């Protein structure tokens, strides 16, 4: 088992790293987003906040797309033998929704900035052009979707974390452990 490739027995070092980095980034972007929209013209971070939010968001979008591709092509540890069918099903649904909501956030965020034809910048290095414009109030509708998806994602993330803790503390099984180390096997 290499650092790069997971198999049925264990998550690779890369998979685990990307998981935790993503989690930190998602939480960070959420609170940055909440904070930055309260800033006024005369706050130092009025422009820096959204600039960072967009650029980090684009980075996360790329990483997440790679993670999804990875997950679709490489085998990885499945449910534990001790997981009852409801838990297996529940985990699958929540994980799917986590990925799905992330994609919704990436697309809606992109659409806000580019709704009138302006490109979206990446750390001042290059710009990604607008693809969809000319739809009245697209920025407003995309903004509403972005906000709702963000709060929903955070709610599910909390659920996801609590479930992991439940497995670790109450069931005392490998579920959380294997996302941190090699697990018992």
The one among 40, 44, 170, 185 contacting another protein by CB under 8 A: 40
Closest CA to 166 of 158, 6, 65, 137: 158
112 part of the interface to another protein, by CB under 8 A = yes
Residue among 24, 19, 140 nearest 68 (CA): 19
Contacts of 168 (CB under 8 A, 6+ apart): 175, 176, 177
CA distance 151 to 153: 5
Residues 154-183 that bind another protein (CB under 8 A): none
Smallest distance from another protein to CB 130, Å: 9
Smallest gap from residue 33 Cβ to another protein (A): 13
Q: How far is the CB of 99 from another protein (least distance, A)?
A: 27
118 binds another protein (CB under 8 A): yes
Work out how close the CB of 73 gets to another protein at its nearest, in angstroms, rounded to a whole number.
Answer: 36
Task: Kindly write down the DSSP assignment for every residue of 51-71, as one continuous string.
Answer: HHHHHHHHHHHHHHHHHHHHH
Q: Judged by CB under 8 A, does residue 136 bind another protein? A: yes
Binding of another protein by 50 (CB under 8 A) = yes
Using CB under 8 A, list all residues that contact another protein.
40-42, 50, 112-116, 118, 136-140, 143
């Amino acid at each position: 088992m290499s650092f790069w490739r997971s198999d049925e027995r264990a998550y690779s070092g890369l998979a685990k790293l990307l998981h935790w980095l993503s989690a930190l980034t998602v939480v960070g972007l959420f609170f940055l987003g909440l904070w930055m929209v309260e800033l006024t013209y005369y706050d130092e971070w009025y422009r820096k906040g959204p600039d960072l939010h967009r650029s980090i968001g684009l980075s996360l979008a790329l990483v997440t797309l790679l993670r999804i591709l990875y997950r679709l092509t490489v085998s990885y540890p499945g449910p534990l033998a001790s997981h009852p069918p409801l838990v297996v099903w529940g985990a699958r649904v929540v994980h799917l929704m986590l990925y799905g909501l992330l994609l919704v956030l990436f697309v809606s965020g992109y659409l806000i900035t580019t709704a009138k034809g302006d490109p979206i910048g990446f750390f001042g290095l290059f710009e990604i052009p607008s693809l969809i414009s000319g739809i009245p109030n697209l920025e407003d509708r995309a903004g509403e979707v972005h906000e709702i998806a963000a709060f929903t994602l955070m709610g599910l993330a909390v659920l996801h974390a609590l479930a992991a803790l439940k497995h670790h503390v109450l069931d005392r099984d490998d579920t959380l452990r294997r996302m941190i180390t090699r697990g018992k096997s």
